[in-house]
């Protein structure tokens, strides 16, 4: 079989099963995208995986993981201003970080054109909220496409890119989690990589690109005019499609993945309902909507997350004196969660009880507790939390940040009591330390997050003399999103770089108390935390240990993985520190209360051995084994 | 062909992603229309992970409705019960690898481990065919998924998908020693 890279770069038309994120890469190549930037975040990192799978000498695109989404947007913007078709992609909440630059994009004459790919996350599968980024499309006057399947991802990106290029403008492609990750068979067009004109095209005449005062208003006028012109594209687009089943009474307006959920639910329906499927969510196809409203007695709008289409459609009906009964959201639950088929069934049943039969779910007789995600066996964060916990009083305050270490909030660690956003922890911790003489504040921050948005908070804490301890959880990778590189490790996706050492950087900022320790050295780490609490100002402890998931994978690949296991010896007197306090998932318990090691899970790192008060843990076997 | 829904469930790290990819490709090799989607991101760190696969002509969303799976494939005992509870149709099939990776609450002694008898009782009550897979001398836990796959092929659990289709898919996705070891195991289980 062809590798992913070979499929993506195949010159001939090719039919393959690909996930949405990978199909997007093929669309980029066919569209002639030259510059791609990103910051990793689910549900989008597989786009980068796709780009990376293409052999370097055959890849016409420049790609980088920038340090955050705002920077990524700016690099792509600069490239577009210089005449290169560019794409920036990131997750839903990444747009909040990028927003300051993003909201300006519509105002510019972007020489090369630009497509912004957003990975929204209805259902908050791997995000701290399920924000609806269609609001940003309205806010910025930038048109937005919303595909429902990998095939549409491919087709819509190509259309968006074509328009962006022709009209020198930005266009948004809004994906959602299960569109990014859905897999289906797609037939791709042939790929022609044209001879590229490398002449820098930046129009360097001063002023047109400076949105200040009166210029800003002219630029806004241009953005609005382009959006107005886009209405015609929307009205004529095949992605805004009426499915006419001849039902004069009932019609449904729906967009994105909920359209496919709806089709599945309607398989059970007692009658065929007409559907207006929306693919361009801003600007809406007004003419099609007006016609659809007029032709039906009742219209149901099935809209995931917020009521953006609903408001516009009701306005259209009012302005056009259409008295069709329009049913939008009816209660708070309609605003929450992903519109999977089950949810669409419930919504439709609530609206038109006679349309669908009752589908009875068997009620299970044995209930199960959920299995939340947890730190991997050998994770340095576990060792760190275990050590730090004993250096803090119950009343002390711990502030979590975003990354694998967020999972420390779970039992048995209970480390991290408040979480806001990427890089917030130092500043939130600073706020918590004001008018607070009695409760120590300890903030956690991952290394990738430090570079992403953590640095201003640290500088602020120095500048304004805040009093807290910051523990930087350095594992040398962006672990949660699939092990992307970061500035401190001396390489990026394209090759070696000059590493930015974290300790040196913080010393440069003038922080007096900085300690660095491997998290497996639990006693030393604990001492540092106790010591730091006695000092004034911002104290930093760099708690290091390489991500063991990444390290063991690399070792297995190279054949250097030492397949050690830990065992519980007969010295065990059932204090359960390993299982209840340290909490490595490899430790399991029999119904009789004996502790044993599940060897499927144990990686033999031994970070647990020191935690046993009776020295009942030890290494079992030492053998060398390659990848099997 | 009516839609055939397969719900896969396991614990992050057990290889659900590869198993799902193999099944999707095997269905395609058999000339069937197929869609699927996996869990990615955060949940993969030792939490419950799942995949949805839908085969047939009238399939739209890659996601299966609760209680509508024709086949639940689980790689761990607790997750087998969870998958059955949430997704199995009455009278359908559940296949699971009998590994136990205790969930947090069991390890913290707040809940009891689920015994095989409980899974069996619940399957019987709902008229569900239950197939338990366990290989005594498996050299690497990461091949448990292949043992399940071979048992699926042996019992023809997916209509119109045959042994050769599974093998073609496995050959597409793995290489070198990993491929060799997995194929050996597949044959051993299939013929065993």
- CB nearest to B65's CB, from A342, A366, A579: A342
Coil, strand or helix at A322: coil
Q: Determine the Cα angle at A463 with ends A458 and A469, to 5°.
A: 45
The answer to whether the Cβ–Cβ distance between B111 and A181 falls below 8 Å is no
- CB nearest to A600's CB, from B33, B99, B111: B99
Q: What is the pLDDT of residues A103-144, one digit of tens each?
A: 999 999 999 999 999 999 999 999 999 999 999 999 999 999
Query: In chain A, positions 236-275, which contact chain B (CB-CB < 8 Å)?
Result: 257, 260-261, 263-264, 267
**Å between B101 CA and nearest CA of chain A:** 7
CA-based nearest residue in chain A for residue B113: A591
A94 touches chain B (CB under 8 A): no
**Å between A22 CA and nearest CA of chain B:** 13
- Test mutation, B24, B37, B110, chain A, max A CBs within 10 A: B37
**Å between B132 CA and nearest CA of chain A:** 18
Estimate the crossing angle of helix B163-173 against helix B144-154, to 10 degrees.
150
Query: In chain A, positions 319-378, which contact chain B (CB-CB < 8 Å)?
Result: 340-342, 345, 359-362, 364-366, 368-376
- Tell the residue number behind the tokens 């975003």, with chain if given: A402
Burial class (CB in 10 A: 0-12, 13-18, 19+), A243: middle
What residues have CB less than 8 Å from A73, skipping those under 6 apart? A37, A88, A98, A101, A102, A105, A116
Tell me the three-class secondary structure of A43-71, residue by residue: CCHHHHHHHHCCCHHHCCCEEEECCCHHH
- Predicted-complex ipTM score: 0.96
Q: How far apart are CA B24 and CA A15, in angstroms?
A: 15
Q: What is the pLDDT of residues A566-624, one digit of tens each?
A: 999 999 999 999 999 999 999 999 999 999 999 999 999 999 999 999 999 999 965 55
Q: How far apart are CA A45 and CA A25, in angstroms?
A: 12
What pLDDT does A627 receive? 42
Q: Which residues of B touch A342 (CB under 8 A)?
A: 65-66
Q: Which residues of B touch A579 (CB under 8 A)?
A: 107-108
CA dihedral B82, B85, B89, B93 (to 10 degrees): 40
What residues have CB less than 8 Å from A98, skipping those under 6 apart? A68, A69, A70, A72, A73, A88, A90
What pLDDT does A628 receive? 37
Q: Which residues of A touch B36 (CB under 8 A)?
A: 182-184
Q: Give yes or no for residue A625 having a pLDDT over 60.
A: no
Same topology for domains A4-236 and A241-351, yes or no?
A: yes
Q: For each of the domains in chain B, give its residue range(s) and CATH number, in order of start.
A: 4-191 (3.40.920.10)
| Domain spans, chain A | 4-236, 241-351, 380-552, 559-619
The answer to whether the Cβ–Cβ distance between A365 and B122 falls below 8 Å is yes
State the number of CA atoms in the 13 A half-sphere of A302 facing the CB. Answer: 34
Within 10 angstroms of residue A581's Cβ, the number of other Cβ atoms is 15
Q: What is the pLDDT of residues A267-287, one digit of tens each?
A: 999 999 999 999 999 999 999
**Å between B156 CA and nearest CA of chain A:** 23
Q: Could you tell me the pTM of the whole model?
A: 0.96
Mean of per-residue pLDDT scores for chain A = 96
Q: Which helix (H) or strand (E) holds A144?
A: strand A144-145
Question: What fold, for A559-619?
Answer: Alpha-Beta Plaits (3.30.70)
Q: Determine the Cα angle at A377 with ends A371 and A378, to 5°.
A: 150
The answer to whether B80 touches B74, Cβ cutoff 8 Å, is yes
What pLDDT does B41 receive? 66
Q: What is the pLDDT of residues A333-381, one digit of tens each?
A: 999 999 999 999 999 999 999 999 998 888 899 989 899 999 999 999 9
- Test mutation, B62, B167, B172, B180, chain A, max A CBs within 10 A: B62
Task: Specify the CATH number of the domain A380-552.
Answer: 3.40.50.970
- Test mutation, A261, A359, A371, chain B, max B CBs within 10 A: A371
Query: In chain A, positions 406-445, which contact chain B (CB-CB < 8 Å)?
Result: 407, 410-412
Q: Which helix (H) or strand (E) holds B38?
A: strand B34-38
Q: How far apart are CA A138 and CA A618, in angstroms?
A: 61
The answer to whether the Cβ–Cβ distance between B181 and A628 falls below 8 Å is yes
The answer to whether the Cβ–Cβ distance between A410 and B58 falls below 8 Å is no
Question: Among candidates A224, A113, A233, A107, which has minimal Cα distance to A164?
Answer: A113
- Test mutation, A3, A177, A183, chain B, max B CBs within 10 A: A183
What pLDDT does A181 receive? 97
A588 touches chain B (CB under 8 A): yes
The answer to whether the Cβ–Cβ distance between A261 and B61 falls below 8 Å is yes
**Å between B170 CA and nearest CA of chain A:** 10
Interface A–B counts its CB contacts (< 8 A) at 183
Q: Which residues of A touch B13 (CB under 8 A)?
A: 376, 601
Task: Specify the CATH number of the domain A241-351.
Answer: 3.40.50.920
The answer to whether the Cβ–Cβ distance between A598 and B100 falls below 8 Å is yes
CATH architecture of A4-236: 3-Layer(aba) Sandwich (3.40)
What pLDDT does A203 receive? 87
Q: How far apart are CA B180 and CA B192, in angstroms?
A: 18
- Test mutation, B48, B65, B165, B170, chain A, max A CBs within 10 A: B65
* pLDDT band, very low/low/confident/very high, at B152 (cuts 50, 70, 90): very high
Q: What is the pLDDT of residues A222-266, one digit of tens each?
A: 999 999 999 999 999 999 999 999 999 999 999 999 999 999 999
* pLDDT band, very low/low/confident/very high, at A626 (cuts 50, 70, 90): very low
What pLDDT does A213 receive? 83
CA-based nearest residue in chain B for residue A556: B178
């Amino acid at each position: 079989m062809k590798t992913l890279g070979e499929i993506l770069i195949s010159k001939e038309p090719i039919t393959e099963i690909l996930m949405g994120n990978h199909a997007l890469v093929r669309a980029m190549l066919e569209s002639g995208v030259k510059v791609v930037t990103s910051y990793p975040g689910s549900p989008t990192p597989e786009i980068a995986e796709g780009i990376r799978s293409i052999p370097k000498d055959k890849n016409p695109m420049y790609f980088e993981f920038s340090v955050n989404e705002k920077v990524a947007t700016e690099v792509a913007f600069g490239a577009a201003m210089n005449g290169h078709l560019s794409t920036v992609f990131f997750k839903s909440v990444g747009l909040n970080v990028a927003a300051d630059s993003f909201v300006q994009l519509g105002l510019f004459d972007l020489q090369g054109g630009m497509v912004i790919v957003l990975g929204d996350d209805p259902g908050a599968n791997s995000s701290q909220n399920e924000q609806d980024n269609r609001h940003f499309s309205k806010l910025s006057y930038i048109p937005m496409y919303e595909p429902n399947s990998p095939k549409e991802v491919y087709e819509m990106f190509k259309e968006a890119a074509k328009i962006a290029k022709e009209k020198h403008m930005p266009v948004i492609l809004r994906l959602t989690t299960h569109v990014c990750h859905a897999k289906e068979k797609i037939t791709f067009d042939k790929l022609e990589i044209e001879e590229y004109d490398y002449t820098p095209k930046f129009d360097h005449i001063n002023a047109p690109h400076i949105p200040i005062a009166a210029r800003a208003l002219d630029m806004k006028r241009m953005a609005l005019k382009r959006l107005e012109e886009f209405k015609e594209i929307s009205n004529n687009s095949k992605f805004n499609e009426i499915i006419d089943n001849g039902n004069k009474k009932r019609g449904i307006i729906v967009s994105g993945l909920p359209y496919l959920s709806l089709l599945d639910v309607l398989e059970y329906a007692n009658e065929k309902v007409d559907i207006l499927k929306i693919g361009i969510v801003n600007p809406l196809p007004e003419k099609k909507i007006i016609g659809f409203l007029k032709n039906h007695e009742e219209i149901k709008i099935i809209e995931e997350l917020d009521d953006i289409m609903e408001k516009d459609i009701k306005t259209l009906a009012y302005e056009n004196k259409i008295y069709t009964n329009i049913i939008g959201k009816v209660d708070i639950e309609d605003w929450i969660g992903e519109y999977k088929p089950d949810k669409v069934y419930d919504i439709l049943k609530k609206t038109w009880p006679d349309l669908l039969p009752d589908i009875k779910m068997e009620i299970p007789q044995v209930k199960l507790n959920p299995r939340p995600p947890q730190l991997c066996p050998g994770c340095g964060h576990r060792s760190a939390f275990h050590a730090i916990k004993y250096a803090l009083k119950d009343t002390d305050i711990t502030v979590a940040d975003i990354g694998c270490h967020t999972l420390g909030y779970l039992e048995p660690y209970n480390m991290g009591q408040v979480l806001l956003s990427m890089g917030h922890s130092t500043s939130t911790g600073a706020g918590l330390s004001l008018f607070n003489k009695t409760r120590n504040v300890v903030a956690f921050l991952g290394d990738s997050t430090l570079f992403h948005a953590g640095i201003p908070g640290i500088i602020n804490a120095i500048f304004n003399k805040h009093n807290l301890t910051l523990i930087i959880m350095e594992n040398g990778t962006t672990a949660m999103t699939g092990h992307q590189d970061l500035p401190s490790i001396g390489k990026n996706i394209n090759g070696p770089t000059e590493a930015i050492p974290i300790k040196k950087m913080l010393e440069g900022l003038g922080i007096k108390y900085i300690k660095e320790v491997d998290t497996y050295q639990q006693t030393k780490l604990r001492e540092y935390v106790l010591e730091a609490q006695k000092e004034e100002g911002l104290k930093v402890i760099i708690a290091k240990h390489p991500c063991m998931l990444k390290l063991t994978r690399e070792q297995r690949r190279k054949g250097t993985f030492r397949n050690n296991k830990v065992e519980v010896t007969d010295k065990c007197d059932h204090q359960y520190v390993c299982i209840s306090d340290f909490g490595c998932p490899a430790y399991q318990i029999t119904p009789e209360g004996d502790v044993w090691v599940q060897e499927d899970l144990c990686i033999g790192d031994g970070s647990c051995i020191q935690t046993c008060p009776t020295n009942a843990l030890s290494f079992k076997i030492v053998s060398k084994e390659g990848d099997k | 062909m009516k839609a055939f829904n397969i719900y896969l469930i396991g614990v992050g790290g057990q290889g659900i992603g590869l198993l799902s990819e193999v099944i999707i490709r095997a269905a395609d090799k058999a000339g069937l229309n197929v869609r699927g989607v996996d869990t990615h991101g955060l949940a993969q760190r030792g939490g419950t992970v799942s995949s949805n696969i839908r085969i047939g002509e009238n399939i739209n969303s890659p996601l299966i409705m609760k209680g509508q799976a024709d086949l639940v494939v689980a790689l761990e005992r607790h997750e087998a019960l969870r998958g059955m509870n949430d997704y199995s149709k009455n009278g359908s099939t559940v296949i699971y690898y009998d590994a136990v990776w205790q969930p947090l609450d069991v390890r913290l002694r707040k809940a009891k481990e689920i015994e095989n008898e409980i899974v069996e009782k619940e399957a019987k009550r709902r008229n569900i065919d239950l197939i338990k897979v366990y290989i005594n001398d498996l050299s690497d836990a990461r091949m448990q998924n292949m043992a399940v796959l071979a048992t699926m092929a042996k019992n023809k659990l997916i209509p119109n998908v045959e042994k050769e289709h599974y093998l073609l898919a496995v050959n597409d996705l793995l290489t070198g020693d990993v491929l060799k070891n997995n194929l050996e195991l597949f044959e051993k289980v299939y013929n065993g």
